[in-house]
Structure 1
Amino acid sequence: MERSILQLSKWLLCNVWLLFLLTACNSKPEASHKKHEKVIETVDVLGALPQYASDPANNPGNPQKIKLGRFLFFDPILSGNKDVSCATCHQPESNYAEFLETSIGVNGVGSGSKRRFREPNEIPFVKRNSQSVLNTAFNGIKNNETYDPESAPMFWDLRAKGLEQQALEPIKSFEEMRGSYYHKDKIIAEVLNRIQKIPAYTKLFSEAFTGEKNPVNELNLSKAIAAYERTLVATNTRFDQYMRGDKNALSVSEIDGMNTFLKAGCAKCHSGPMLSDYKLHTLGVPDTKNRKESDTGINNNYAFRTPTLRNLRYTSPYMHSGKFLTLDDVLMFYEDISGGKIINPKVKAEQMDSLVTHLDVNFKDISSIIEFLNTLNDDSFDKTMPVKVPSGLPVKGL
C-alpha cells in the first residue's frame, strides 16, 4: 500500500514538472522585450512658411518703425566703442549671417572673412557662430499650431524669447557690442543718451511711436529693431512652392533626397516650416579654437538649439561653434555619430541625445540629402542698406 502511494506521488510530481516546462516554453515574451520598430517620418512633418511674418500684439509694424529699425540695425552708435553694429555680424550679402567661425565684435575692423582685431586687443572672439537673422521672425513656428511671435525662441541656448527681447542682448554683451568702457547695466542708458542728442533720431522715434511723450526709450529701441528684422524673410523657396501644392517645383532626384532625409531620421529634430524643433540637443559638436574655455551650453551639458536648415547655401560655416565649413562636413559628422563616434572629447556617451545616436546617415546618401537641402534656398530677400545713418558713423561699423 505504502509503495503504491509513493509511486503515485512520483507520478504526480513528474507530471506537474512537465506541465510547468510546457507552459514556460509556450508563454509569450513580455511586452518590454519586444523590438521597437523604427518610425520614419513622412513629408507631413515638414511644412511651408507663411508668406509674411506675424507681428506681436504689442508691436505692430508700420513703415516709420521699420525705417527707424533699419537705421538702428546698421548704425554703430549702438555699441560701446561706436565701432560695431548689428549688421557687422549679420551682413545682408551673407544672408544676414557672417562667414566666420565665430564673430569678431568690439575692436574689430574689416568685413566677413577679412575681419580681424585691431591692436592692441583684449577683447575675445564672440562665443558662438553668428546665426542668420533671416526668417528669425518665424522662430518656433509649428505645423497646425497658433504661432506666438512674443514667445519665439532665440539664440543657440534659448535664453531669450521674441525678437524684441533678442534685439538688446548683443548690445549688452561684452565681446559683441558693449566693450570694456561700460557696465552691462549702463550701456543701454548710454546708447539712449547718444540717440537723444541726434535730431534725426528723435524725429524718427517720434514718427514711429506717435503720441508718446518720450519715445526714445529702451522698449521702443527694441521694438524698432524687431519690427525691421520681421521684414527680413525668405519664404518662396522651391521647397515652399512644392509644399504649397506645386509638385513640379522639385525634381525627381530632389524628392528622392527629401525622402532620404526623412528616412535617415533628420526630421526628428529638423521638422516644421523652419525645419527645426527649437529644442536643445547634445550632439558632441567640437569646440571652436577661438576661445580658451569649452562651451558647455546654458545647462552645462553641451546641448544647443536645433538650427533652421533654410538658406544653408549662404550661411556657412555651420553649428554653434562654426566648426564645419561645408554641408558635406556636417553630414559626415552625423554619419560618425550614427556609427557611435563622439567628436568632442569632453562630451560623455550618456550625455548624447538618443535622437541623434539613432540617426541612419550613410556616406552614399550625403549627396542626395544635400540636393534636397539646396531646395531650401531663397535669395530674394531684402538686402538693401542705408547709404548713411543718422549718427554719421560708418554704415555697419569699422
Structure 2
Amino acid sequence: MLSTAWALAVGFFLLVACQKEEEGPVSAAATAGFSALPLSVPAPADNPSTLAKVALGRVLFWDPVLSGGKDVSCASCHHPAAGYADGLDLAVGVNGQGTGAARRFRSPNSIPFGPRNTPSVLNTAFNGMMADGSSQPSAAPMFWDNRALSLESQALGPLANFSEMRGHQYSEALALDSLVARLRGIAEYQRLFSAAFGGSTPITAGNLAKALACFERTLVSTDTPFDRYLRGDKTALSDEQVRGLNAFVQSGCNKCHSGPMLSDYQLHVLGVVDNEKNQVSDSGPNGSYAFRTPSLRNLAFTAPYMHSGKLPDLQAVLRFYDPGPGPRPPLNPNVAPNQRDPLLNVRVTDPQAIIAFLGALSSSSFDQTIPARVPSGLRVGGN
C-alpha cells in the first residue's frame, strides 16, 4: 500500500511540475494581455473589401500620379523591401530619388525632410484592436499623434502634405481636387474606379481613399512565431525567446505594449530627443511632447526607431528605458524629468533575451508584389 501511494504521489508531483513548466510562459503571456492577430481583417461598414477595390488600391499605391510632381508614390516611403516603411530616420518625399534606406534628396533641394519617422503600414488594418479582438476600423488611430481615425482618413493626408507628396505644384486646399481631375483624365482609371465603385462619377477623393485603404488592409503579417505560439504551438518560440517574453513582462514593457498589436495606442511623454534635421523641435500634439506607443510588430524591418528615428537599434531602445551600466541615449532637453510618463520607470531584465523575443514578432510572409505597370504610364513607384 505504501509503495503504491508513494508512486501515485510521485506521479502527481511530476505531472504538476511538468504542467507548471509548460504553462509558465503561457500564463505570463495571458496575464500580460497579449493575443494573436486574427486571421480575418476587419473593415468599416461603409468600405467592405472587394477584389476590384484592392486591385485599384494597389496600382494607386504605386502610381506617382498622386504626387504634385508625378515623381513620388505611396510606395516611395512605404516599400515592401523595408517592411512597408523606408529604413530612414526621417522620410524623404518630394524631390527625392531611390527607395528604402538608399533614398536621398536630389540637388538643389528646397523641400524639408518629413518631420517624423515613417511608420510601417503593415498590420495597420488592426490598429486600435483590443486584447479581446474587438475593433472599430472606422475609428482606428493613425500617425504618431493619432490625428487621423481610420485608414481611409489617413490615406489622403500624405497626398496634400507639402514635403511628403504635394510639393510646389498646387496649394494644400487644391491638392485633392487636382488629383481627382488628373485621375478622371486617365481612361484606365475611369474603368478601374467604375468597376470598384460604380456610379456616374466614381472618381472622387472619398473613393480614392477607400481604394487605398482596402489595399492597405491586405498588407498583414499574422503568422509570426509569437502568433503561432499564442495559438498553441509551443515550439514556435525558442527557449531564449520564451525567457525574453517573461523578461519583457517582468520588466514592465507590457504596461504600454500589449494587445494584438503590442500597443495601447495612447499618447505618452517619453522625452525622446529631437532629430537635428528638423528646423524646430517636434513638440507633438498641443505642445505636449506626447506620442503614440508604436506597435512592436515587424520590428526586424523597421529600424531606426521612435518618432524622431533617433534610436538606431533595439539595444539603444532598451538603454533609453533603462541604461543599466552603459550610456543612455540623450533625452530631449525640452522635456523635464517630471513630465516623462511614470510608466517609463522600468528595469530591463535580460535585455538580450528580450531582443530575441522581439524577433519573434516579425514575419516576411506579407504581400510584397510590385505591379509591372501603373495606369498613368509613369515609372512604377516614382523616382
Deviations 1:45-101 (A, max 9, x none): 111000121111000111111000000000010111111010000001111001111
* Separation in structure 2 between the aligned mates of residue 278 and residue 90 of structure 1, nearest angstrom: 21
Q: Which residue of 1 aligns with 2:359?
A: 374
Question: Is this contact kept in 2: 1:87–1:96, CA < 8 A?
Answer: yes
Distance 1:323 1:56 in 2: 35
Asked if 2 retains the 8 angstrom alpha-carbon contact of 1:69 and 1:224, the reply is: yes
In structure 2, distance between residues paired with 1:355 and 1:204? 49
SS at match of 1:383: coil
Is residue 207 of structure 1 aligned with residue 192 of structure 2? no
CA contact (8 A) 1:49 1:273 kept: yes
Contact persistence 2:38–2:133 (CA under 8 A): no
* Counterpart Cα distance in 2 of 1:284 and 1:257: 26
Does the alignment pair 1:334 with 2:321? yes
Counterpart residue number, 1:396: 381
Partner residue in 2 for 1:120:
108
Q: Deviations over 1:114-173 (max 9, x none)?
A: 222122221100010110000000000011252111110000000000000000000011
State whether residues 41 and 268 of structure 1, in contact with CA within 8 Å, keep that contact through their aligned partners in structure 2: no
**Aligned 8 A contact 1:42 1:262 in 2:** no
SS of residue paired to 2:294 = coil
Aligned to 2:311: 324
Q: In 1, Cα distance between the equivalents of 2:288 and 2:197?
A: 43
Greater Cα offset, 261-270 or 44-53 = 44-53
| Matched positions, count | 355
CA-to-aligned-CA distance 1:268-309 (integer Å, 9 cap, x gap):
000000000000011111111111111000121211000111
SS at match of 1:299: helix
Matching residue of 1:262: 249
Amino acid at match of 2:380: V
Shift of 1:41: 8.2
Question: Matched residues in 2 for 1:116 and 1:310: separation?
Answer: 26
Give the 3-state SS of the residue equivalent to 2:291 in structure 1.
strand
Q: TM-score, normalised by structure 1?
A: 0.86
Q: 1:219 aligns with which of 182, 203, 206?
A: 206
Gaps of 5+ in 1: 1-39
Q: Distance in 1 between matches of 2:269 and 2:297?
A: 21
Secondary structure of 2:322's counterpart equals helix
Provide the C-alpha distance between the structure 1 equivalents of 2:80 and 2:326, rounded to a whole number of angstroms. Answer: 38
Separation in 1, partners of 2:31, 2:72: 42
| 1:85 is aligned to 2:73 | yes
- Asked if residue 284 in structure 1 is aligned to residue 247 in structure 2, the reply is no
Q: Residues 227-376 of structure 1: matches in 2 within 5 Å?
A: 227-336=214-323, 343-356=331-344, 358-362=345-349, 365-376=350-361
**1:95 aligned onto 2:86:** no
Per-residue deviation, residues 204-234 of structure 1 (Å, max 9, x unmatched): 0000012x11000011000000000000000
Residue 25 of structure 1 aligns with which residue? none
- Give me the identity figure in percent: 52
Name which of 124, 130, 136 aligns with 1:136: 124
Find the aligned partners of 1:349 and 1:376 in 2 and give their Cα distance. 31
Contact 1:317 1:323 in 2 (8 A): yes
- Tell me what 1:46 maps to: 34
Give, in angstroms, the shift of residue 336 of structure 1. Answer: 3.4
> Which stretch shifts more, 243-252 or 267-276?
243-252
Q: SS of 1:250's equivalent?
A: coil
The Cα shift of 1:113 comes to 2.4
Alpha carbons 1:41, 1:265 under 8 Å: kept: no
CA-CA distance at 1:42 after TM superposition? 5.3
- Measure, in 2, the Cα distance between the counterparts of 1:220 and 1:262: 43
TM-superposed deviation, 1:314: 0.7
Using the TM superposition, give the Cα deviation of residue 369 of structure 1 relative to its aligned residue in structure 2, in angstroms. 0.3
Structure 1 counterpart of 2:372, which letter? V
Residues 1:64 and 2:64 are matched in the alignment = no
* Distance across 2 between alignment mates of 1:337 and 1:51: 39
Q: Using a 3 Å threshold, how does the CA distance of structure 1 residues 321 and 125 change in structure 2: closer, same or farther?
A: same
- Quick one: structure 1 residues 41 and 250, their matched pair in 2 at CA, closer, same or farther if it must change by over 3 Å? closer
The SS at the match of 1:61 is: coil
Q: Would the aligned equivalents of 2:269 and 2:341 in 1 still touch at CA under 8 Å?
A: yes
* Paired letter, 2:272: V
Native 8 Å contact 1:41 1:263 kept in 2: no
CA spacing shift, 1:216–1:382, aligned 2, 3 Å: same
The match for 1:158 is 146
CA distance in 1, matches of 2:116, 2:87: 13
CA positional deviation for 1:339:
11
Distance 1:338 1:389, change over 3 A: farther
Does structure 2 retain, via aligned residues, the 8 Å contact 1:338–1:359? no
Gaps of 5+ in 2: 1-27
Runs of 4+ in 1 over 6 A off after TM superposition: 337-342
RMSD: 1.7
Q: Residues of 2 paired with 1:278 and 1:336: CA distance?
A: 25
